[in-house]
Every structure is written in structure tokens, then in C-alpha cells.
């Protein structure tokens, strides 16, 4: 069957491809400074999450000291602005230096509800980037994040970030004195080299029994551009 895509549909597809999410992971207290710097370069909105780093390996100083508090800044914009902002943030915050943080971007399908993203068909396109890194996100019950990190490290990971969260699935509540209690969750973010991503995911799946109902979920995204990783 032949697919007929008109110009309007093509524009929507191209616009979706051009959208990126920027993640910046910095020491506690630095998130607001990152947002202020990004605002000067065209991004007016962002969200700051609290997390903790788990790296204790000097080969890849992703998040530096074990169990250190971190702030994760999440922003969305078009590809051209994202690359410009990443360059600017790297120049200002010196992510190439140890313990200064990490910044990277991933592709997104669309951004709805954000005033800072305006579609521009004339945005500079830099071409497809062959991803060298991938972002692995694992969501598990509270108390299981360290097991995720251990399983990932056994497969070649150098660390990650743990973020507290809360589940709301219909199979994930329990009764306490006839009251529904939603269990807390932990989300683990791991930045991995493309060559070890599959091994890391397999290791987490096996140790955490992710394939069993209610044990958790894993997904990954290609990283388009990254600063702050060095060997």
C-alpha cells in the first residue's frame, strides 16, 4: 500500500523531529542558576528535580561523589535553540571539569503546554547525529534503586542518578486501615555508551525481574549531544 503524505503532514513530522529535551545534572543549589542562564538564550521554562548521584568510579566522573545530592534541570525547545543553549551552558558551567555536572539532550515527539517552544520551520538543521550515548531510565519500587545501580555497574555502567517518584498504577496500591496507599517509586537515570546499553538493560531486567508484573519499567532514549563526560 502506497503512503501519501501531503506537505502539511511532512511539516508536522519535521517539526516533531526538531524538538529536543535538555537534561542538566548539577550539584544541589545550582539548578536555578542553570535556568537563569538558559533564559538568557531563549528558554523561559524548565523544571528542577531533586536527586542523588551514585558514582564512585573515577573512570567516568558522571555524577562524582557517591550519594551526593543533585538537581536535575529539564527543559524543552527546538533543536537549534537546544544546541545553542547546551554550548552556552558548557562554556559557563565548565562541564568538562570534574564535579561540575553534565548536560545532554534527547529527542522528543512534541511539547504541549509550553510557552517557550515556538515552532520555526527555518530553524537551523544540523543533520542526524549518530548517537554515541543513550539514556536508560528505570522506575522501580522505593528501596530498589541501589539494586538497579548494582546491576548496571556489573554490566559496565559507571553510575547514575536516583530520583524519588510516586506510582499511580491500578495494580500498585495497597490497603492500610481501609485506606489506599500509593507506594513510593524511585527513578534511576543512567547515561551509557551505546555499545553497553543492551547489556546494562539485560542485567537490570534479570536482577530486578522487570518482566514480572509490578516489578518496574525500563526505557531508553538516544542522546543527541552531551557535555561533561570524559574518561
**All cell numbers assigned to 225:** 549531544
d(CA 115, CA 75): 12
The secondary element (H helix, E strand) that includes residue 71 is strand 69-78
Name the percent of the chain lying above pLDDT 90.
Answer: 46
- Do 193 and 101 lie in a common domain? no
Residue 121 has pLDDT above 50, yes or no: no
| Total number of residues shown for the chain | 231
Domains in the chain, number: 2
* Cβ contact 162:66 at 8 Å: no
Distance, in Å, from the CA atom of 40 to the CA atom of 38, rounded to the nearest integer, reads 5
Q: Which residues, in sequence order, are CB contacts of 229 under 8 Å at separation 6+?
A: 60, 62, 102, 133, 191
What is the arithmetic mean of pLDDT over 160-185?
64
- For residue 122, is it within any domain? no
Cα 137 to the center of its chain, rounded Å: 7
SS3 content of the chain, % helix, strand, coil (to 5): 25, 30, 45
pLDDT at 206: 95
Is the residue at 189 inside a domain?
yes
Higher pLDDT, 157 or 126: 157
Q: Which domain holds residue 171?
A: 133-225
Q: At what angle do helices 79-93 and 31-39 cross, to 10 degrees?
A: 130
34 inside domain: yes
Is 12 a member of any domain? yes
Amino acid at each position: 500500500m502506497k503512503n501519501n503524505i501531503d506537505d502539511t503532514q511532512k511539516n508536522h513530522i519535521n517539526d516533531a523531529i526538531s524538538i529536543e529535551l535538555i537534561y542538566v545534572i548539577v550539584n544541589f543549589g545550582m539548578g536555578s542558576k542553570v535556568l537563569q542562564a538558559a533564559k538568557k538564550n531563549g528558554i523561559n521554562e524548565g523544571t528542577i528535580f531533586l536527586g542523588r548521584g551514585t558514582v564512585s568510579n573515577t573512570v567516568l566522573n558522571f555524577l562524582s561523589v557517591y550519594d551526593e545530592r543533585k538537581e536535575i534541570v529539564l527543559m524543552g525547545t527546538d533543536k537549534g535553540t537546544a544546541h545553542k543553549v547546551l554550548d552556552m551552558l558548557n562554556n559557563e558551567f565548565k562541564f568538562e571539569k570534574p564535579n561540575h555536572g553534565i548536560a545532554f539532550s534527547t529527542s522528543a515527539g512534541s511539547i504541549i503546554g509550553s510557552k517557550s517552544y515556538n515552532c520555526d520551520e527555518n530553524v537551523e538543521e544540523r543533520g542526524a547525529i549518530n548517537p554515541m550515548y543513550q539514556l536508560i531510565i528505570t522506575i522501580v519500587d522505593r528501596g530498589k534503586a541501589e539494586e538497579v545501580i548494582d546491576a548496571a555497574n556489573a554490566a559496565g555502567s559507571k553510575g547514575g542518578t536516583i530520583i524519588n517518584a510516586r506510582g499511580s498504577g491500578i495494580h500498585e496500591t495497597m490497603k492500610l486501615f481501609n485506606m489506599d496507599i500509593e507506594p513510593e517509586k524511585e527513578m534511576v537515570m543512567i547515561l551509557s555508551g551505546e555499545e553497553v546499553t543492551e547489556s546494562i538493560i539485560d542485567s537490570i531486567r534479570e536482577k530486578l525481574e522487570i518482566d514480572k508484573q509490578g516489578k518496574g519499567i525500563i526505557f531508553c532514549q538516544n542522546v543527541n549531544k552531551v557535555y561533561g563526560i570524559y574518561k
